[in-house]
């Protein structure tokens, strides 16, 4: 990797600014954290920094979308401080401000690797605009910057790209690991490389499909997006999800991907979106009045066969509406196939596929689960990620 990592920088006695991803899911009723995986994912970097004896570690993160005063109240980052404190086993000082005297004084007076958590970066209107003044101001609070929020590196924000434009910088262990896994899979994979793409829309994955058609040995397509491909091939799709304006694009992908694009050959269909409809197996065509909500048993068999012998697999997007039990079989089957692949590097590209792997109990049987849905997708497209590009080269 050509970017500096935290092992390449000296932080002893310094104030370290660290961008983490504490955008944790919370209960709508109580506001309490329902899953602290993102906090846990940041611990190796924070603990390593503590061991190096800095003056202070100042943590920046966003939480949710902040457009109104109501959003501010709802997305107050204070909820994370006790959770982080528990995991670190040491005090975390939460500062209910994103700039000003209270924050500056807390940082100035900090000693002995004091961990300081700054209020939600999106409280600042200039955050998402990458306001140069804001990036410069935040950078002025520290001596060195560490980027460890992979879920945010595809955004050119003040806290991801603005701070490192003004300070010596390095990536933390989480970002280093993501670059190592996804970067290697896309740029220098052990072959055969098989990509599995699911999810609802072709439009979400256009760039990924275009890039992977040049890179992968096979691309398996499932999820709602496969019905646009089915329509492009002349099949009936009933009321299944369709992006009418993407049919010609799907045709061009089918043409370009001859021999490497693998599409479903049957579906699990229902006349209702829900568990209480008339659910049945359909072939390549979905009957009128029905919608395809999962891949069918023949497709499961086909996909398992196409995965045999793969040495690198990247998976992004579920095969069906896996949250509903009758339409989870396709996604479960992909989880099982990946879990049983001998000697393969299996990478789950964040988002819904990561949620599925964890929810279905396969997390410890794959090589890597990405912490960034959008970031991993853009990385798979071959795009430059601003939050990584801004980090100092070795």
Q: What is the pLDDT of residues 265-292, one digit of tens each?
A: 999 999 999 999 999 999 999 999 999 9
> How far apart are the C-alpha atoms of 120 and 123, rounded to whole Å?
6
- Identify whether residues 167 and 217 lie together within a single domain: no
- Which of 150, 174, 198 represents a domain boundary (last residue)? 174
- Identify whether residues 269 and 353 lie together within a single domain: yes
Distances in Å between the alpha carbon of 180 and those of 57, 176, 354, 368, 382?
A: 25, 6, 18, 10, 14
Number of domains in the chain: 2
> How far apart are the C-alpha atoms of 72 and 185, rounded to whole Å?
39
In a domain, 20, yes or no: yes
> How far apart are the C-alpha atoms of 94 and 91, rounded to whole Å?
9
- Which of 174, 200, 220 represents a domain boundary (last residue)? 174
89-100 b/e (C-beta count within 10 Å ≥ 16 → b): eeebbbbeebee
Break the chain down into helix, strand, coil percent, rounded to 5.
40, 15, 45
In a domain, 264, yes or no: yes
Of 38, 155, 218, 231, the active-site residue reads: 38
- Identify whether residues 257 and 368 lie together within a single domain: yes
The pLDDT of residue 334 is above 80: yes
Nearest to residue 159, comparing CAs of 390, 393, 394, 364? Answer: 390
Nearest to residue 298, comparing CAs of 326, 271, 263, 328? Answer: 263
- Identify whether residues 281 and 160 lie together within a single domain: no
Which of 33-37, 49-53, 145-149, 304-308 shows the lowest mean pLDDT across its residues? 33-37
- Identify whether residues 156 and 65 lie together within a single domain: yes
Q: What is the pLDDT of residue 118?
A: 98
Residue 33 β-bridge partners:
26
Q: What is the pLDDT of residue 373?
A: 78
Q: What is the pLDDT of residue 161?
A: 98
Q: Examine the residue annotation and report whether 136 is marked as an active-site residue of this protein.
A: no
- Identify whether residues 147 and 210 lie together within a single domain: no
- Identify whether residues 251 and 155 lie together within a single domain: no
Q: What is the pLDDT of residue 186?
A: 86
Of 64, 126, 277, 374, the active-site residue reads: 374
| pLDDT tens readout for residues 134-182 | 999 999 999 999 999 999 999 999 999 999 999 999 999 999 999 989 8
Of 320, 351, 373, 387, the active-site residue reads: 351
The pLDDT of residue 227 is above 90: yes
Tokens at 215, concatenated: 């890179």
- Identify whether residues 170 and 199 lie together within a single domain: no
- Which of 148, 174, 200 represents a domain boundary (last residue)? 174
> How far apart are the C-alpha atoms of 133 and 83, rounded to whole Å?
32
The pLDDT of residue 308 is above 80: yes
Q: Examine the residue annotation and report whether 201 is marked as an active-site residue of this protein.
A: yes
In a domain, 93, yes or no: yes
Kindly report the number of other CB atoms within 10 A of residue 342's CB atom. Answer: 7
In a domain, 390, yes or no: no
| pLDDT tens readout for residues 61-108 | 999 999 999 999 999 999 999 999 999 999 999 999 999 999 999 999
- Identify whether residues 11 and 69 lie together within a single domain: yes
- Identify whether residues 95 and 237 lie together within a single domain: no
- Identify whether residues 355 and 242 lie together within a single domain: yes
In a domain, 14, yes or no: yes
Model confidence at 355, pLDDT cuts 50, 70, 90, reads confident
Q: Examine the residue annotation and report whether 7 is marked as an active-site residue of this protein.
A: no
Please state, rounded to an integer, the average pLDDT across all residues of the chain: 95
The pLDDT of residue 350 is above 80: no
CATH number at residue 97: 3.40.50.1260
pTM of the model: 0.87
| Residues in the chain, total | 394
In a domain, 252, yes or no: yes
In a domain, 207, yes or no: yes
The pLDDT of residue 1 is above 80: no
In a domain, 43, yes or no: yes
Sheet strands (E) in 172-290: 193-197, 218-221, 261-262, 267-270, 279-282
- Identify whether residues 271 and 127 lie together within a single domain: no
Radius of gyration over every alpha carbon of the chain, rounded to an integer in angstroms: 23
Number of Cα atoms under 13 Å in the Cβ half of residue 196:
34
Domain that holds residue 45: 6-174
Of 72, 99, 201, 260, the active-site residue reads: 201
Q: What is the rounded (10 degree) CA torsion for 42, 44, 48, 49? A: 0
| pLDDT tens readout for residues 8-36 | 999 999 999 999 999 999 998 899 999 89
């Amino acid at each position: 990797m050509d970017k500096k990592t935290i092992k390449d920088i000296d932080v002893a006695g310094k104030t370290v600014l660290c961008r983490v991803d504490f955008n944790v899911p919370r209960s709508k009723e109580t506001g309490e954290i329902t899953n602290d995986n993102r906090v846990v994912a940041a611990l190796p970097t924070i603990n390593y920094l503590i061991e190096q004896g800095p003056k202070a570690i100042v943590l920046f993160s966003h939480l949710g979308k902040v457009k109104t005063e109501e959003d501010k109240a709802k997305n107050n980052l204070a909820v994370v401080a006790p959770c982080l404190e528990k995991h670190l086993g040491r005090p975390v000082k939460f500062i209910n401000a994103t700039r000003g005297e209270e924050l500056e004084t807390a940082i100035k007076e900090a000693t002995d690797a004091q961990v300081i958590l700054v209020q939600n970066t999106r409280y600042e209107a200039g955050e998402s605009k990458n306001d140069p003044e804001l990036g410069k101001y935040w950078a002025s609070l520290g001596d060195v910057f560490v980027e460890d929020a992979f879920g945010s590196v595809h955004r050119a924000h003040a806290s991801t790209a603005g701070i490192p434009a003004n300070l010596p910088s390095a990536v933390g262990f989480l970002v280093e690991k993501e670059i190592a896994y996804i970067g290697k899979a896309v740029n220098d994979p052990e072959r055969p490389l098989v990509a599995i793409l699911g999810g609802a829309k072709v439009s979400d994955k256009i760039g990924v499909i275009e890039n992977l058609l040049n890179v992968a040995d096979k691309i398996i397509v499932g999820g709602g997006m496969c019905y646009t491909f089915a329509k492009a091939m002349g099949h009936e799709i009933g009321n299944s999800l369709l992006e009418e304006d993407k049919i010609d694009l799907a045709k061009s992908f089918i043409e370009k991907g001859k021999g490497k694009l693998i599409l479903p050959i049957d579906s699990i269909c229902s006349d209702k979106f829900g568990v209480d409809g008339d659910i049945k197996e359909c072939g390549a065509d979905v009957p009128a009045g029905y919608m395809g909500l999962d891949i069918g048993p023949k497709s499961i068999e086909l996909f398992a066969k196409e995965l045999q012998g793969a040495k690198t697999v990247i998976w992004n997007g579920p095969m069906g509406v896996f949250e509903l039990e009758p339409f989870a079989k396709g996604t479960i089957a992909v989880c099982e196939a990946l879990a049983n692949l001998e000697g393969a590097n299996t990478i789950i590209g964040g988002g819904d596929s990561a949620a599925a792997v964890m929810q279905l109990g396969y997390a410890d049987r794959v090589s890597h689960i990405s912490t960034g849905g959008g970031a991993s997708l853009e990385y798979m497209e071959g795009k430059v990620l601003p939050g990584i590009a801004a980090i100092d080269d070795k």
